[in-house]
Homo-oligomer: A and B are copies of this chain.
Amino acid sequence: MLLTRASEYALLSLNVIYKSDKPIGSEQLSKELNIPKSFLAKILQNLTKGNVLVSHRGAQGGYALNIDPKDISLYDIISLAEGKKPTVFDCVSYSDTCPNGAIGTCAISPFLAKFQFKIDLYLQNLTLKELLDER
C-alpha cells in the first residue's frame, strides 16, 4: 500500500475544512468523520506546519485552509500527512539495505526509479482543488 490512514484522514479533513466558512476544531472533525481525535490532531498539526492549514488556538479556534487549493499538490499533502515522501520501494532511495549492493547497479533499479518518477509526477500535478471540487 502506498498511502496510510494519515493521508486518508488528511484528505477527508481537508474536504470538510474546505467547505466550511469558519475554522473547525479537531474535536468536531473527529466526531464528524469518526476519526480518533488525538491521532487526527497530529495530522492536522503536520498540515499546519506545512502551511496548508492555519490554526487558531483558544475558544472558537480551529483549523482553516491557508492556501488556495489550486496551489497545493497531493504530493505535498501526502508528504506532510505521512511525515515522509511516498515511495514505491525503499530500495529506490536507500542502497544500504539492497541485498544486491548499491542502487543503480542492479538491473531492476532504473525501472523502479522511472516508476517512482511517474508516481511523483502524477501526485505533483494533481491539486487539492481537483479533488475537492464537485464534478
Contacts and interface: CB of A to CB of B under 8 A. Distances in A.
Contacts of A98: 8
A15 interface: yes
Contact of A118 (B88, B110, B122): B122
Q: In the complex, which range does the number of interface residues on chain A fall in?
A: 35 or more
B108 A15 contact: yes
Interface in A93-112: 98-100, 106-108, 110-111
Within the oligomer, what is the number of copies of this chain? 2
Contacts of A15: 106-108
A90 B128 CA distance: 20
Contact of A3 (B86, B88, B130): B88
A123 B123 CA distance: 17
